Amino acid sequence: MEQKQNPGILKDALQQSFIKLNPRIQVKNPVMFVVYLGAVLITALYILSFFGISDSARGYTFAIALILWFTVLFANFAEAIAEGRGRAQANTLRKARKDVSARKLKSAANLADYTEVLSADLKKGDIVYVTAGEQIPMDGEVIDGAASVDESAITGESAPVIRESGGDRSAVTGGTTVLSDWLVIRVTAERGESFLDKMIAMVEGASRKKTPNEIALQILLVTLTIIFLVVSGTLLPFTAFASKQAGAGAAISITNVVALLVCLAPTTIGALLSSIGIAGMSRLNQANVLAMSGRAIEAAGDVDVLLLDKTGTITLGNRQASEFLPVSGVEEYELASAAQLSSLADETAEGRSIVVLAKRRFDIRARELTKSNALFLPFTAKTRMSGVDYAGEEIRKGAADAVRAYVQERGGTYPDECDRIVRYVAGQGGTPLAVAKNGRVLGVIFLKDIVKKGVKDRFEDLRKMGIKTIMITGDNPMTAAAIAAEAGVDDFLAEATPEAKLKLIRDYQASGHLVAMTGDGTNDAPALAQADVAVAMNSGTQAAKEAGNMVDLDSSPTKLIDIVRIGKQLLMTRGALTTFSVANDVSKYFAIIPVLFFAIYPQLGVLNFMHLTSATSAMLSAILYNALIIIALIPLSLKGVRYRELPASELLRRNMLIYGLGGIVAPFFAIKLIDLLLTACGLV
């Protein structure tokens, strides 16, 4: 959601507009530096006019100088207001970054042997002990314990998250608060290099470097400015010579030469170029994504292949029981009853869904088994089954091959029909759980991966954008194919291993594609490092975060789609305003030049189809429009051009129609209107 401007940001931006008049700051933007030098020169000419040295009317010189200074200030304001939003975000983050006392352990094995130190004194590799109510002193990796952590200071989300040793949720960020239990953390960052420090630097723009596209565009703008500088510089001797030859008119004044240069140079995009880049970074920050470089944002705009994890991205992540499929000779009620009994102590989402389905299908309610001395058997990676023993009954549910081995060990028969049901469930994209009672197979529970609502439409939008979507999953190919078809992705990678992900990315890159992917585990690090746009989850491991060039603070794998949209919007905004700026320059050329030379060559009067009052009026109108259009486009540069899910060719066509044709037409109407107003007020 776009952040509204508050009075504090606007006030700060106004102050920064004047601070940025420092020549050392202005020289960083060559195009606007030319305008800055022009304003200084015309101001000097105005001062000299009081000593009898002038080439134009004093009032006219003053007006041109004033407009040029306003042009520079408007450019500064555009950049300052973009930086101001980042500065406001940085101030909020600074409140979370403070020195706190930390328990530094000598050994992770002895929690009682510690030294009280300040977080500022911690070094990479140190081990600290943090308990409930305490702030985590520095970025680190949980090596022991599990706790709920409040990360609202960084993510803005009030709901606590679980951080624990081992797995993919072991990374913690300094400045967050432990709400319950305790953690032993190994520090992974030096002071000044923490995640929070990087966030502050990025949102402030202090570490923002110009991207390759930005540099290339600036080179083009500087080249155009040099060309117009040469053209404008030759006008003075040319008009002096032409006026003598024609015996009419006079040489163009230095004031008009400078004004003409400013009007013809690409000052509009030159003034807004920096703010567009900063605003793009800000939009990404507002989406709770930290980009380690501006280049990553631009790359996101050019991405044409997306690698998306199935679980949590395409599907809800929790499989739900959808059907009871009994074998021949077994009633569905019997299967449902046994499945429900075996799941009463199962606190997983799958287990709870089996209980709910049994209740919904047959009104089988939870039963009290404590008096029956029931023994519940939890699922383990070794047995791959769970179940319950009670009243002489044995019920087991789990993977089909595990149940097969269980049944055959007890002398029972595993029916071929059960295998057919298992294959059917797998073919439908589901997970089959076989159920057996007292060594007899009852049937199969159909666990279905629920595809997120609306995800198919989002993939269709991506397809319209020319982006190929690939689902990555550890499922077998049959299951993966079924889910891919339901979700509407273009392709899938089943039974994915780190090596397979890496090979897939390299293959697409070798074919000239730009690839984006998300990841949160250490095993994702090689693929993240290889991808052009790599979004690491904030909840993931330190290795994943270091390998990625973006970090999603919300740890939402679907955020990748929004990142691509923001990247494309950044590129579109820059392209649209560049098109508009160049088109403006073309129009101003035809609007001004004929009027300036009319006194020397009256034949050029036919080109003055706008019927501007005079050369003075034409120049004032053009340079005033040049200044006003900058401030008029500031909201668009900050908000960004609206992105639509259309093919690149159609987007280009819309861009040329709206900003190309619009950029040519707008100056004629605006300059004529300003000319009429100046004339009506008697100012020319």
Catalytic residues: 309
The one-letter amino acid code at 386 reads S
CA 26 to chain CA mean position, Å:
29
Cβ pair 298, 570 in contact under 8 A:
yes
DSSP 372: G
- The answer to whether residues 570 and 280 touch, using CB atoms and an 8 Å cutoff, is yes
Q: Which helix (H) or strand (E) holds 101?
A: strand 101-105
Report the distance separating Cα 132 and Cα 98, nearest Å. 18
DSSP string, 529-542: HHSSEEEEETTS-H
Residue-wise DSSP of 4-61: PP-HHHHHHHHHHHHHTTSHHHHTTSHHHHHHHHHHHHHHHHHHHHTTT--SS-HHHH
For residue 347, the tally of other CB atoms under 10 A from its CB is 9
**Six token digits for residue 654:** 């819309």
Q: Do 124 and 140 contact (CB within 8 A), yes or no?
A: no
Q: Which residues sit opposite 645 in a β-bridge?
A: none
Q: How far apart are CA 96 and CA 92, in angstroms?
A: 7
Contact 303, 564 (CB under 8 A): yes
Hey, what are 436's tokens? Answer: 């057996």
Alpha-helix residue ranges (DSSP H) falling in 366-476? 400-409, 416-427, 455-464
- Residue 169 buriedness (CB in 10 A; 0-12 / 13-18 / 19+): buried
Q: Tell me if 224 sits within 8 A of 270, measured CB to CB.
A: no
Please state, as a whole number, how many other Cβ atoms lie within 10 Å of the Cβ of residue 491.
12
The residue type at 163: R
- Count of CB atoms situated within 10 Å of the CB of 285: 21
Alpha-carbon gap, residue 671 to 666, rounded angstroms: 8
* Closest listed residue to residue 287, CA positions, set 272, 297, 299, 298: 297
Q: How far apart (Å, rounded) are the C-alpha atoms in residues 392 and 39?
A: 96
- b/e burial code for range 395-422 (CB count within 10 A of at least 16 → b): bbbbbbebbbebbeeeeeebbebbbebb
Contacts of 406 (CB under 8 A, 6+ apart): 385, 396, 436, 439
Give, as one character, the DSSP assignment of residue 128: E
Q: For the chain, how many residues are written?
A: 684
